[in-house]
A and B are shown apart, each in its own frame.
Chain A
């Protein structure tokens, strides 16, 4: 305090500079999740993600139902990517029960899985657009998704939550002349999403919002154990469809998209490139698929595992690698099911990416992690 000034004019130092801000759990910018952010002016000092608002205990419920009746409710974490979420569980149950899958069913699975990946990514892209205030980018993907949803409806009978994969194949055979319709729709879809580059990825405003924000170096991406598009955007060439091919992926030509920047722009571009890759994979699969044959092995009711053994299977989904760890004993119900999901593994990177960023960049960094709160909570 300066002694020469009269007491009323004494200057006070403000020492409480840090403000704590709760984003969520019902905020359009966070999904069903709370992010506790500490800001100093406009800059984020620390951040603490707090998931768990949609935790329903899927893993606990799975211990009370048998292997087949688990199928409809284990796909609930990500309903618009339901084929991929179910995939590792089905592969694991097949290994436990010792089932051989027919060749045609494997191709149908690959087609369904790639269509679902595109459906998920379009949804994600639509929300990424509206996060950044780009309304057209919300409406176009939301409309173009319908092309593929119609295809899935033809194939499985449901628009979302297909429950199409069962141990031993798929539930139904493809409808007649599905291949021609699928090829036509996918070609048109590919033409459509190539137009997104001009409106979205080459847009100077979007580049200003996302370039050089939330940079994740290659070394950190490996150390934090991130997966999927986050990892590939940081320059690590790792895709399970190529590295550990399951079903028929080893017979198909899969190209991995890798970008080296590791910022939000790269993380948002890699899924879009993956969609173009998915279209190519679907075309190859339609060409190589056996034209007839069975798509499902008949199972006994309530099949049981043999003794105490454990299986860990992985697939590549739209959000990274999905693993399913199943411990079985000699009962019709699994002893323990653990889903290791990509969103949960990528969430650990969020505090490191947000530190030092401006608060206005939070939506672009957070949603570029390809994060789906419901999946992380399980």
Chain B
């Protein structure tokens, strides 16, 4: 993990050595202590399953593979006291053939975590010709862990075509019922006239 959070690229979860690691050797920036402690606890528990992407003031970002995300989320809820999800956003990366789903977790009950947002990300496989719900773009749902994720995951399902396995209510939320086009927030869905 490179310690420079300013110029750091968000790396993919593949095992390819990124070019930025070799170029940044001498630059040592003091990482915030409390956030570093949070990240160390997670790494200590899960080892190589998780990857700490950055540690900034009040923000820690953890990249997890799609098989372990539920386990990590339960650890975050039960041991580290993150009790609700603020937002769930999808980000489309066509060049990596992946769709990233980003959970922003916060805490109301633990006063020491009131400023913190823990960013938990995972990636789903991306299909060129999506059939939402019936292709390989699937992730385990976190609704059993964080109840507040219910509507957000429905939104990601309709906007990106990521099917959440185990979600009780995978229906449309914002789009019309007869929407038969691509999921609209993917990069290959172009706006007219632009």
Contact = CB atoms under 8 A, between A and B. Distances in A.
B108 A231 contact: yes
Given A51-B174, A325-B102, A336-B91, A60 B85 contact: no
Contact of B108 (A60, A222, A244, A309): A222
A309 B10 contact: yes
Given A244-B58, A336-B91, A306 B7 contact: yes
B131 interface: no
Interface in B150-177: 150-152, 172-176
A64 B151 contact: no
Contact of A223 (B10, B83, B184, B194): B83
A314 B174 contact: no
B109 interface: yes
B145 to A, nearest CB: 11
Contact of B191 (A61, A309, A321): A61
Given A225-B146, A231-B108, A308 B10 contact: yes
Nearest to B169: A48
Contacts of B6: 306
A114 interface: no
A34 B152 CA distance: 18
Contacts of B21: none
Question: Which of B8, B92, B174, B175 has the most C-beta atoms of chain A within 10 angstroms of its own C-beta?
Answer: B174
A236 interface: yes
Interface residues of A, number: 37
Contacts of A244: 58, 114-115
Interface in A304-341: 306-310, 312, 314, 321, 323, 325, 327, 335-336, 338, 340
Interface of B: 6-10, 58-59, 61, 83-87, 89, 91-92, 102, 104, 108-109, 114-115, 117, 119, 146-152, 172-176, 184-185, 189, 191, 194
30 contacts: A52-B172, A52-B174, A52-B176, A55-B175, A60-B185, A61-B191, A64-B191, A222-B83, A222-B108, A222-B109, A223-B83, A223-B147, A236-B108, A238-B114, A244-B58, A244-B114, A306-B7, A307-B9, A308-B10, A309-B8, A309-B9, A310-B119, A323-B87, A325-B89, A338-B89, A340-B87, A340-B89, A340-B104, A345-B87, A347-B151
